[in-house]
Structure 1
Amino acid sequence: MAEQASYAPDADQIERLARAALERLPEAFRAHLGDVVLRVEEFAEDAVLDELGIEDPFELTGLYSGRPLGDKSSSDSGTLPDMIHLYRRPLLDEWVDTGVSLEALVTHVLVHEVGHHFGLSDADMHALEEAAG
């Protein structure tokens, strides 16, 4: 029997895991995420890393860019859409280092970034992650 080649999960596979995690969130949260763009990229751009004071691109697994829902106003028209960025290579690196499942890691990072969208505290994010687990 021929051995099947295996490869690191690509951006599409990570996006599928992230979308599945979004579907497991409580409806009260999902209802407010329809306009949030989900992007999976290899690494954060250098400008983003510089702005955050991060030297090693492997240190950033995800990022929310936008304004939390509670800070939005009607004068926000014409702004870029809110985005959740997941960074594939740092996620894979952390996956290997921690030994947790990739699904659990992607869910953890995604929920953290969703939490920023809602302006949640760390305790609230933990409860949300439990609901999405």
Structure 2
Amino acid sequence: MTPEDAQTILRENFAPWVQALDLTVLVFDQGRTQVRMPLGDHLSRVGGIVSGQALAALADTSMALATIAQAQIFRPFATTDLHTRFLRPGLGTAILCDARVIRAGRALVFAEAEMTEESSGKLVSTATAAFYAP
């Protein structure tokens, strides 16, 4: 599967509000994804920083795509656990999210993600999640 395949999966299977984040899949490899989220006023909170809700959605979506990349076929994985740590304010033009599967079992898949400012490379947030594989 390719980044273009992942973009199609995102467009056809994710909620409209997730699609409104205008995500671009840059890497879609065996159990790994990199997703770009452009920043704008619609994602900003007081002080002009990216909102935590947008970062959590970026992480969850990127890790879900990583589980699909691991499976090499679209399956509707369900998030069962999501932990997000906000480390510094996210600024700039975009946030990059690198997500990877750390363990894939029969029923549960575990993943982690790091979100960085595109321009500075500074770490903004990290996340871990578990997904149920029906």
**So what's the TM-score if we normalise by structure 2?**
0.30
Which one has a larger percent strand, Structure 1 or Structure 2? Answer: 2
Structure number with bigger Rg = 1
- Bigger relative contact order (CA 8 A; separation at least 6): 1
